[in-house]
Amino acid sequence: MTPVTLITGASAGIGGELARVFAAHGHALVLVARREDRLNALADEIAALGRPRPAVLALDLERRDAVAVLAADLSARGLEPDFVINNAGFGLSGAADVLDRNEQLGMIDLNVRALTELSLGFVDSLARHRGGILNVASIAAFLPGPGMAVYYASKAFVLSFSEALHQEMSGRGIRVTALCPGTVLTEFQARSGMELPGIAKLFEIPAARVAEIGYDALMRGQRVAIAGLGNKIAVALMHFVPNALLLRVVDNRKRN
């Protein structure tokens, strides 16, 4: 079986940049998302630079059978993951009791369920290739988020789960890193229906830089990578602010 780096959510934003960074470092890739035309355009772009053309799989990862379909597809192509990059995810902005219930549950299916299944589904091949898992969390993982309650909670899961896996899998030679970006201008904002507060724009980091930070952290075997000095300071300060105050500051329902 040929080793490949599996990247979810590669059709846009941070995932597309992660694909470019991994390809530039010589990784063979499998790109997964729903929009096949976008994945093929990125695969063509990478091939045009003289790299092997990534394999492309159009798949809705909210589907219950998605990881089984993905595993069968890889196996039919004679591929097995050395690295799994769980990047696909979305948020929804608004009060949890007002937002569409099924969309919020779909967010959990993608941000939590698929990420968990993909993290656990290829452990033997990750160990064989001494590879790893990069799970894209967020600085939202460090606090509750009124106005995006399910999203923040999903990222808290990603951070907690990834840190625990980092410890559990170190004995098998598998690196596990949680990447925590702050504001990155991508399709994320439009998809989640959020309006960025001015302060968030101050800490904005380009997706390409976030991808480099994630790549370097994973290769170094770092447990958690918070992208950017401003975000590192913000997360450190959160420990000193009482939750009651933090919740009022974060609450973005006012801006809807």
Ligand X SMILES: NC(=O)c1ccc[n+]([C@@H]2O[C@H](COP(=O)([O-])OP(=O)(O)OC[C@H]3O[C@@H](n4cnc5c(N)ncnc54)[C@H](OP(=O)(O)O)[C@@H]3O)[C@@H](O)[C@H]2O)c1
Q: Which residues are catalytic?
A: 151
Q: Is 217 in the site for ligand X (CB under 6 A)?
A: no
Give the phi and the psi of residue 204 in degrees, each rounded to 5. Answer: -60, 135
The pattern of x and - marking residues 45 through 84 that bind ligand X according to CB under 6 A reads: ---------------xxx----------------------
Single out the residue of 23, 30, 33, 169 in contact with ligand X (rule: CB under 6 A): 33
Q: Is 103 in the site for ligand X (CB under 6 A)?
A: no
Single out the residue of 90, 116, 235, 238 in contact with ligand X (rule: CB under 6 A): 90
Q: What residue number has its CB nearest to ligand X?
A: 13
Single out the residue of 119, 186, 231, 252 in contact with ligand X (rule: CB under 6 A): 186
Q: Is 110 in the site for ligand X (CB under 6 A)?
A: yes
Q: Which CB, 2 or 193, lies closer to ligand X?
A: 193
Q: Which CB, 8 or 125, lies closer to ligand X?
A: 8
Report how far residue 209's alpha carbon sits from residue 173's, in angstroms, rounded to the nearest whole number.
Answer: 27
Helix (H, G, I), strand (E, B) or coil at 232: helix
Q: Is 88 in the site for ligand X (CB under 6 A)?
A: yes
Please identify, among the stretches 30-38, 48-56, 164-172, 211-219, the one whose residues bind ligand X according to the rule CB under 6 A. Answer: 30-38
Q: Are 123 and 171 in contact (CB under 8 A)?
A: no
Closest residue by Cα to residue 5 from 225, 211, 227, 224: 211
The 3 state secondary structure assigned to 170-226 is HCCCCEEEEEECCCCCCCHHHHHCCCCCHHHHHCCCCHHHHHHHHHHHHHHCCCEEE
Q: Which CB, 112 or 174, lies closer to ligand X?
A: 112
Task: Give Cβ neighbours of residue 83 (< 8 Å, ≥ 6 apart).
Answer: 5, 6, 22, 27, 126, 131, 132, 133, 134, 218
Report how far residue 223's alpha carbon sits from residue 232's, in angstroms, rounded to the nearest whole number.
Answer: 14
Q: Is 34 in the site for ligand X (CB under 6 A)?
A: yes
CB of 192 to ligand X, least distance (A): 8
Q: Is 4 in the site for ligand X (CB under 6 A)?
A: no
Task: Give Cβ neighbours of residue 4 (< 8 Å, ≥ 6 apart).
Answer: 27, 28, 29, 30, 55, 74, 79, 80, 81, 82
Binding residue count for ligand X, defined by CB under 6 A: 30
Q: Which CB, 15 or 94, lies closer to ligand X?
A: 15
CB of 175 to ligand X, least distance (A): 19
User: Which tokens belong to 8?
Assistant: 């979810």
Q: Is 35 in the site for ligand X (CB under 6 A)?
A: yes
Rg (CA), the chain: 18
Query: Where does this chain bind ligand X (CB under 6 A)?
Result: 8-15, 33-35, 38, 60-62, 87-91, 110, 136, 138, 181, 183-184, 186-188, 191
